[in-house]
Structure 1
Amino acid sequence: MTNDLLGRHRAVLPDWLALYYEDPLEITHGEGRHVWDAHGNRYLDFFGGILTTMTAHALPEVTKAVSEQAGRIIHSSTLYLNRPMVELAERVAQLSGIPDARVFFTTSGTEANDTALLLATTYRRSNTVLAMRNSYHGRSFSAVGITGNRGWSPTSLSPLQTLYVHGGVRTRGPYASLGDDDFIAACVDDLVDLLGHTRAPAALIAEPIQGIGGFTSPPDGLYAAFREVLNEHGVLWIADEVQTGWGRTGEHFWGWQAHGRNGPPDIMTFAKGIGNGMSIGGVVARSEIMNCLDSNSISTFGGTQITMAAGLANLNYLLEHDLQGNARRVGGMLIERLRSAAAQVPAVREVRGRGLMIGIEITRPGTDQADPQAAAAVLEAAREGGLLIGKGGGHNTSALRVAPPLSLNVAEAEEGAAILENALRSIQ
């Protein structure tokens, strides 16, 4: 049955639509932190549909909210007042930390970043954008144009002039050997020099922790230091929280808060986990930035009632059950367990991350050279052991990505770590 589906997939879908595994997996249903495939095999899910099933599979509170809303009305567009959309916008505005915030809902993180770029370039009257090396911001034409990861940027054509800044990867690049303070100082000096050679950009867009890039991040405080320079030039800061938001990092509700001594970003984008599988993305910005557009606009599917109902129920559950605290506690235990296991595997260059957002970088032993084949082998071995994980990294890195639902318990974390340890050992 799966082979037939794979053939049908290949016959009608693009060749560039990536599939995991030599024998691709059809997931038929899930519950809690587990999913099942078409053959009845059960897996512990440590990737959550790319960090999207944030709370749990088949969470009763969310499925009930979706079912009840579907029985009333599913969709009307933004041309009509929409109570669930207003209620979720109020919650997101308050949680964002951005003063006098306005919220616009989209259907994806890509669309959210598109909107942020539209706002920033219009507000600043500039089509120059600063982005981070090794970054990823989506698959649309404009988002690809600011993506600093060669493996996910299929064209150099763009409506934007993009300049790439150092700092998103702590342990690679020209400043990797420096201590944290000197690393930040060197990246700031580079930013200052870059700004001296270009017309004033509209914004810097940055993921606090790079997602597709392999869960890499700078030292805490880098973007706060950047902000001081950006403010001198009137350049906006866009925080891409599509993967880092909603408490996943454990220590903070938003990734930007690790760099927040100069206040919240001017614009923040979000998506993925807030819908727990329903298609929700969005942008939060100060009112004068959000309201700078001087033409009409709507969203046909952004903010539709059924997705907003899911988002409200999911957010309520997350806050009421302190899943941020759970990510901090269980994630802290999991990352130490994985570091202990990885210390015995020469192919593991680094275990990094925070909360339930953990990256394991695989290289050829004794070198810094990426080993994509070994990373793929670990992915396969983990599946054989009953665990689903992700992978990522820039063009010269190969990383495994571990990002379970935030309700993960200690026993499940230990089970997943044991499977992953065996998978890592299998490549020696």
Structure 2
Amino acid sequence: MKLLRRIAYLSVLTVVVPNVVNAQEPLLNLQEAVSIAVQEDPWLTASKQTQEAFASEAIASSSLPDPQISLTAASFPVDSFSSRQEGMTQLVVGVSQTFPRGDTLSLSRKQKNQLAQKQPFLRADRIAKVKTTVTKLWLDVFFSQQSIRLIESDRALFEQLVSTAKASYTSTEGKARQQDVIRAQLELTRLDDRLTSLRQKEEQLQSELSEWIGVIAKSRLPDDLPSLTLKKTLLSPSTIPKQALYELIKEHPVLQATDQDILASETSVELSQQGYKPQWSANLKYGHRNDDPSGNDRADLLSVGVTFDVPLFTDNKQDKQVRSAKFKTEAKKTEKLLVARQLIANLRSTFLQLNRLNERAALYHEELLPQMSAQSEAALTAYNNDDGDFAEAVRSQIAEIDAKIDALAIAINRQKLIAEANYLLLSGV
């Protein structure tokens, strides 16, 4: 019985649960899962294509409009349609070129480049989010698999309890009662149900993970819980001023992407202000005239002209366009403020939770798990020596299993919070 207890005992923070598997079965570690997810993410490809599109638009938007060519048969007499009858009859070819208002071309190019420069920041944020998401899913699958192994390792003990209770019940000298046999069998059945539920959860989580890494998500995970490194430690997050927390997140890619939106919006204000300047158009026309009816040569005609509009009535057009662009810029700045506030709140909350989990992990590892093990060992020994209650022995075993799984959950949640904190502390591209 004591041998069974030694096999069943597991401290989930320090000891690996043995699992009989094919030695050649490939293992899916966390780093590999994250790497595959990033490499296979189509969003990153779309972002690069978007950046290239904006870069091409920047060049196109800084180009002058295409010149216009006109061909005109002018002043032909309708009685004869002769090109020699009237002196004004001519064949005219013309070319005109429009010049956009003010600095519209250079500002349009500037704005497109600003939008293109937003994409690297979005990709950096996306990569970090993918890493965090896949890390959490991988850890959830790890929790399910390790919980299954924990229960399976203790299931043998409950099978032994059922056998012992049955043997004691049928023995004339045994003290076991029928309810002890039923209770032991019931707990064994409940363990089986718990295993089924955990396997169902494992399959569900593997399906969610497969969205990011494909069928390899069905692979077995290593038995060792990976230890993520925290970029920065905050000992008293509840008392740190907002400004100090802002300094930690101000270089976050999502904020830098918003900065690019603000710059592009400010350029939109400059673009709208070009509406107060005239738009110019230059034209050149050459008219060829035929000889007169007597055979005398007629001189060809050349015309040069410039047209431009005069923005006089600006109240309901240009003024409103500038006003609209300015409001949109302020809205972008407000959006950045809201994103920063959310990042700060999440950072504070994450570190508060992390600090509490560190306390709980130490409590479980140093006190609770050893105490639960000692209690279940004592209850089982007392029952084996006919000095204890069967129900208490069963309750102690179940409580120890629950404590092990709770300790595992704490360890898993701690790693998930570290992954979240590292995302929030991300800076640069």
Higher relative contact order (CA 8 A, sep 6+): 2
More strand by share: 1
The TM-score normalised by the length of structure 2 is 0.18
Between Structure 1 and Structure 2, whose CA radius of gyration is higher? 2
More helix by share: 2
